[in-house]
Amino acid sequence: MAHSTHETASAASPTAAPATTYVRKGFGLKAEVQDTLAADYTGHLVDLLRARDYALTVGDTTIRLAREFGFCYGVERAVDYAYQTRLKFPDKRIFLAGEIIHNPHVNDKLREMGVVFLSVSGKGFDYSPVAAQDVVILPAFGVTIQDFQTLRDLGCVIVDTTCGSVLNVWKRVEVYARDGYTSLIHGKYYHEETRATASQVEKYAKGQYLVVRDMAEAELVMDYIEARAGRTPPRPVLSREAFLEKFSVAASDGFDPDVHLDRIGVANQTTMLARESLAIGAAVGEAMARAYGESHKAEHFRTFDTICSATQDRQDAVLELLREPIDLMVVVGGYNSSNTISLAALCAEQVPTYHIADPDEIDVALNAVRYRRIARHHVEDTMQPWLATAGALRVGITAGASTPNNKIGQAVARVFAIRGIDPADVT
């Protein structure tokens, strides 16, 4: 077992665990893994872009990097702790609940280090391969309270890398449940973070949650609230049966819209589009006031902005970059990375945008790019030829919070190479 004095289970943890099996602050091996981390994830061209005020120009080709991009503190911490865990337990079996973060390159590195990825089972993960003598890493997204209890019962070593911003949302949702409010969560019901957040209501026997993907789904909830109060919303209202069917996989067990939409507390998955989360919170509050009056809203409605600062900073930086003349944007990050998808959606509103999971999606020889189209139901597509090979071109680059610098740098290098510029000459 791990013999750690760095941190025992705290109030922020889903439940208490023995101090000898629960680790939340690493193993004091940060210095020992730094060289390996730097070798795996540092990008020379990114360093150069920073030094040149986030712009590199060679001839008539300019590449501009958003001022906030890539790894955030929570992601750095999670990856750092995963590397420390492998160093601390060289002979133990190490499992990971899902993916440490949503970046294929980082997860492949962990697989190369012998970390075994546990598969999804229901709302959590399948822990049947895990024994008491093993180690299980919890990802930056966290796990459900049921998952945590299962691991505690197993008695294995638990290395918890859950992001602090996620823990803040958990606390908010737990308070909602304690006070009798249904948690209305702006997020993706299938996302690991949202599943973990939603599970926090289950600490209370009457806790309930409902997950809405976007404003359109939030409007279904608002219309139902107003119709229940005798008002006629501008859109057709779902029947109770249709409502329950629509949200069958996005609501807590026993959820009843006729009962559980009376008191609502709004929260969100930390990586959603910030402006939409804020708009949903405001709109639901206004619907409550229209339905029952301002005094009812004051007592029956709560909302807090729980978007993490790193997500907000990266979205703000993209909007700032797009004030400049940019011909197209390249957004680098996993296709299942929610914060990367949000960045790509922001960019696509203003310029042609190419969301690539990895720089390998850019084929220099063919001047082609394979990318994910920005749409509700995402599909992959290929463009060839992609970039004009002559004439002035300004390319914007950004990356999700789970994208390492070396992958950003490789994307920059490939753009230069298509334009006939040797990346080695960009100094």
* Residue 189 Cα to chain centre, angstroms: 12
| Burial of 367 (C-beta count, 10 Å sphere; 0-12/13-18/19+) | middle
* Residue 341 Cα to chain centre, angstroms: 9
Among the listed residues 193, 219, 226, 361, the single catalytic one is 193
Query: Which one, of 132, 134, 101, 104, lies nearest residue 116 by Cα?
Result: 134
Q: For the chain, give me the number of helices (H) and strands (E)?
A: 15, 19
CA distances to 55, 146, 421 from 123, rounded to whole Å, are 44, 9, 49
Beta-carbon contacts of residue 217 (< 8 Å; ≥ 6 apart): 247
Taking the C-alpha atoms of residue 368 and residue 362, their distance in angstroms, rounded to an integer, is 6
User: Is the peptide bond between 139 and the residue preceding it cis, with omega within 30 degrees of 0?
Assistant: no
* Residue 41 Cα to chain centre, angstroms: 19
Taking the C-alpha atoms of residue 287 and residue 222, their distance in angstroms, rounded to an integer, is 6
Task: Report yes or no: 215 and 286 within 8 Å, Cβ to Cβ.
Answer: no
How does DSSP assign 228-281, residue by residue?
HTT---SSPPPPHHHHHHHTTTSB-TT--HHHHTSSEEEEE-TTS-HHHHHHHH
Q: What are phi and psi of 128, to 5 degrees?
A: -60, -30
- Report which DSSP code applies to 388: -
Taking the C-alpha atoms of residue 403 and residue 124, their distance in angstroms, rounded to an integer, is 25
Beta-carbon contacts of residue 62 (< 8 Å; ≥ 6 apart): 55, 56, 392, 393, 394, 395
- Tell me the residue type at 71: F
- Tell me the residue type at 191: H
Taking the C-alpha atoms of residue 154 and residue 70, their distance in angstroms, rounded to an integer, is 36
Whether 294 sits among the annotated catalytic residues: the reply is no
Instruction: Return the exposure string of 38-65: e unless at least 16 CB atoms fall within 10 Å of the residue's CB, then b.
Output: eebbebebbeebeeeebebebeebbbbb
Kind and range of the H or E run holding 64: strand 61-65
Tokens linked to 316: 């703000």
- Provide, for the chain, the percentages of residues in helix, strand and coil under a 3-state DSSP scheme, each rounded to the nearest 5: 40, 20, 40
Residues taking part in catalysis: 193
